[in-house]
Amino acid sequence: MTGAGSDEVVVVVVTYESAALVADLVASLPAGMGDLAWRLVVVDNASGDGTPDVVRAAAPDAVVLEMGRNAGYAAGINAGAAYAGPGRALLVLNPDVRLTAGCVPALMAALDEPGTGVAVPRLLDGDGVLVPSMRREPTLVRAVADAVLGASRAGGVGRLGEMVTEVGEYDRAQPTDWAEGSTQLVSAECWRRCGPWDESFFLYSEETDFHLRVRDHGLTTRYVPTAVAVHLGGDSTTSPRLWSMLVANRVKLFAGRHGPLRSAAYWSALLAREASRAVLGRATSRRAVRTLLSPSALRAPRGPGWGT
């Protein structure tokens, strides 16, 4: 184990079959980090496409930790932080992120504000279009609204939906309950207070859990519009396996923070949403329905923060 200097930002990238993506991320880091001192730790979840070799070629000074198995996103973040420590702050990045010039210094300026534990940037997709990345806390009312109206429409009706979809909201700095987790800067103090990410989620909802725990510990997740990153996005909306995992983890997250009756109602709202879309022929929703009907669908995780 080795520790980062107290003035360094530790950049942790978790990879899995990321050979086609990670070199471009590495190339964007110097401009994105600006004048900040930083070190790169890449944690690879047993990629079979040569990802570790691509990283070593693109960034000879990077530390590459090979997990030897696909341990999940949260486990990768925890492994990177355990190896290097949080340093001055911990920058968590997906391999399909591209930082724009000065992104991280802008996040750091926000992180230095009292009470801020996590800072997240304005996200654009590969075509330069805004990615609605701010989220409100999951509630039963919001689950029903998303099921009836759709996430995009519900998000534009006051605070009814979970996703913040009003474009004007992304022009001002503000706290958010949680945010899409591809790019986030976590203060060392926040990491010490909140502890590691919950590995029981494996993939999806781990950032929701962490950001809600940030709030539980008296800190804030802050959206910073002057910090900009490009997120190319994944295939969770088109892959039945990934979508079903995403939906199931939303239920498990809710069940970990609420009682059995409210959790059952939340599960019912998600089941109704997925069933209605399955009837329309969506393969992702058909898989999600099967997953929600499995015996483990309402089983709450038992990782960091639960039962405390």
Residue 257, domain member (yes or no): yes
The residue whose two tokens read 């750091």 is 108
* Same domain as 188, residue 60: yes
Q: What's the CATH code of the domain at 102?
A: 3.90.550.10
* Same domain as 270, residue 136: no
Q: For the chain, how many structural domains are there in total?
A: 2
For residue 4, pLDDT over 70 is answered with: no
Residue 298, domain member (yes or no): no
Cα distance between residue 245 and residue 228, in whole Å:
29
Residue 3, domain member (yes or no): no
**Mean pLDDT in residue range 58-76:** 96
Tokens found for residue 248: 């199931």
Contact 108, 177 (CB under 8 A): no
Domain that holds residue 207: 9-231
Residue 223, domain member (yes or no): yes
Residue 302, domain member (yes or no): no
Which positions ≥6 away from 129 have C-beta within 8 Å? none
**Mean pLDDT in residue range 103-112:** 97
* Same domain as 222, residue 100: yes
Dihedral (C-alpha) 175, 25, 103, 205: value to the nearest 10 degrees? 0
* Same domain as 132, residue 42: yes
Contact 89, 4 (CB under 8 A): no
Least confident of 105-109, 158-162, 292-296: 292-296
State the pLDDT confidence band at 98, using cuts at 50, 70 and 90: very high
Contact 221, 145 (CB under 8 A): no
Residue 308, domain member (yes or no): no
Cα distance between residue 227 and residue 133, in whole Å:
13
Name the β-bridge partners of 13.
42, 93
Residue 306, domain member (yes or no): no
* Count of CB atoms situated within 10 Å of the CB of 106: 22
Domain boundary among 231, 255, 283: 231
